[in-house]
Every structure is written in C-alpha cells, then in structure tokens.
Amino acid sequence: MRGWLGLDDVPADWGRSVVTIGVFDGVHRGHQTLVRQAVDLAQELGVASVAVTFDPHPDEVVRPGSHPSQLSTPHRRIELLGALGVDAVLILPFTLEFSRTSPEEFVQIALVDRLHAAGVVVGENFRFGHKAAGNLATLRELGEKYDFVAVGVPLVSSLEDITSSLIRQHLTDGDVAAAADELGRLHRVEGVVVRGHQRGKALGFPTANVESAPHTAIPADGVYAGWLESPEERWPAAISIGTNPTFEGAVRTVEAYALDRDDLDLYGLHVSVDFLARLRDTLKFDSVEALIEQMRADVDEARRLTVSAG
C-alpha cells in the first residue's frame, strides 16, 4: 500500500483508479462502508483503489480556531485505510488557497490529471470545492465530461447516525465503549512518552506519561482499562487521565500503567493507548494511602476486563 503527501507525490505513470474522498477522521464504521465499496468497484474494473483525505482538518483552515479534536493522526489514518484494502492513500495538504478551488478544478487537477479516475465513490451527502458548491449531482455531471463513473453510497439505517462529531462527544463524556462501537475498534491516543513527576513510580505503579499531538481527542478525565502498546510489545493497562488532584496538579495528562510491569523504560518512544472501558471518575483522596488502595482496586478491575476482552 502506497502513501502520498500531495499531488506531486503521485507517480507520473499512475494508471486508472477508483477514488474515494473524505476527511475520514477516525475511519469509523460509516467510512469503512464507503471505502470497501470503492475497493470492490476497483476490483470489478480491474484498476487500483485510492483514498483521498486531507490534513489539516478543513474546518481549521476555513474557520481558524475551530479545529475539531482529532480521532486519528494522519499516519494512523493511512494504516486504517490500508487495512481496508486500498492500494494508495493520498493526503492533500488543505490550505486556504486549496479551499478556493472550484469543484471542476478539483476534479480536473486531482481526480483526472493525477489519479486518472475511472470511478469516484462518495457518500450521498458529499460536498466539495469552494464554499462546498459541488455535490453528488455535480460530480456525476463532471464524470460524464471526464469519463468516470460517480457512485453515491447511501448509509444504511444502522450507520447513518455514525459521525465523527458524535464519536467525539462520546469521548468527551468518557463513554469509550460507545465510541469503540461506532469506530469499529477501540479509540486510540498516540504520543511520545515523556518524563513527568514520577509519582506513579513512587507509589508502586510506574506510568508512561503520553504526550499526544495538539487537537487529539482525549477521553474525559477518569480512570480506564485498556492497553499500552510500544513499537515492539503490547500490555494490558490501567490508564489515568486528569490533573492528579490529590497532588494539586494543574496539567492534564494521559498516563498508562502496564499491569504488573515495573521494569519498562519507554521514555522517548512513540506509544499508543487503546481505551476499553471506563472504571471511575477522577477523585481527590484525603491521603496517599487511600489513593494507593484505590489504585490497587483499579488495577484488579483493569486486569479482569482486559483478560475478558482478550
């Protein structure tokens, strides 16, 4: 599977392809339906399949300061789209200049001249071009002009209410189980392990303090069960999000304790944290001893849930 950043990365000898287009933040179950139909059509036509996505999020460019929290990094998006069977993923840098491209200009420059589209598969509510002037009808008209078929995919009733915005709201509410159901997998937060106050180590529960990218969709403050994954290994984990109120903390952190492991040195590594279930709210304890007792209970519950989930 190939990954391209910008139209200039597309090989000059790239043949005809079926293209699907979207922000695809999270690559949730609705996105998966769309991408799989594009892959199926490409196989029917005997051509390659390409998923086109954008970075940064168009909202941030068109309305600065409105960047929604991000369900997946661009790199993770490429991984997820590739797992659905596409032959290539094209990330288009979304700039103010690009936002002013007319629907026909976008079709001609990106879909026709570079990707040589034989088919374009989009959701029925797809909008594109300057001020979202283009829609599915526009795409079909341009398809007749430029020799490609435009397919609008209706979302069946079980998927029509799945949106990235709704998943973000689930995470804001701390409902990682509902988010996972609509994503089709556990929600993931990625980042580099940095040094914190090392309070967890002192308490007997050394944690990886994960510094994520700006705009990452981080679940509500609380304690969760899930997994911590390094480039080489994956461990069941108890995960804490919050400001450590027992110690009068002010900075919000994501910290993951790999169950029963006090020998890990993950500093500087890029890791991921997958959220399985919410255990409880973040609490301020009257004593360190009370905190440790609760942490032991959290670890036991995280162990039970991760073992059950496999």
User: For residue 273, what are its two tokens?
Assistant: 């944290």
Note down pLDDT in tens along the chain; length 310 residues: 999 999 999 999 999 999 999 999 999 999 999 999 999 999 999 999 999 999 888 888 888 777 789 999 999 999 999 999 999 999 999 998 999 999 999 999 999 999 999 999 999 889 999 988 999 999 999 999 999 999 999 865 455 578 899 999 999 999 999 999 999 999 999 999 998 766 666 677 889 999 999 899 999 999 999 999 999 999 999 999 998 765 555 578 999 999 999 888 999 999 999 999 999 998 888 788 888 899 999 999 999 999 999 7
Q: What is the DSSP letter of 87?
A: S
Identify the active-site residue in 44, 79, 255, 293. Answer: 255
Taking the C-alpha atoms of residue 86 and residue 42, their distance in angstroms, rounded to an integer, is 9
Please give the model's pTM, rounded to 2 decimal places.
0.90
State residue 68's pLDDT score: 87
CA-closest candidate to residue 263, choices 239, 238, 290, 235: 235
What six digits make up the tokens of 215? 């705009």
pLDDT at 138: 97
**Confidence at residue 26, expressed as pLDDT on a 0 to 100 scale:** 92
Distance (Å, whole) CA 60 – CA 63: 5
Q: Is 160 a catalytic residue?
A: no
Calpha distance 163→228 (Å, rounded): 26
Beta bridge partners of 214: none
Give the model's pLDDT for residue 159.
57
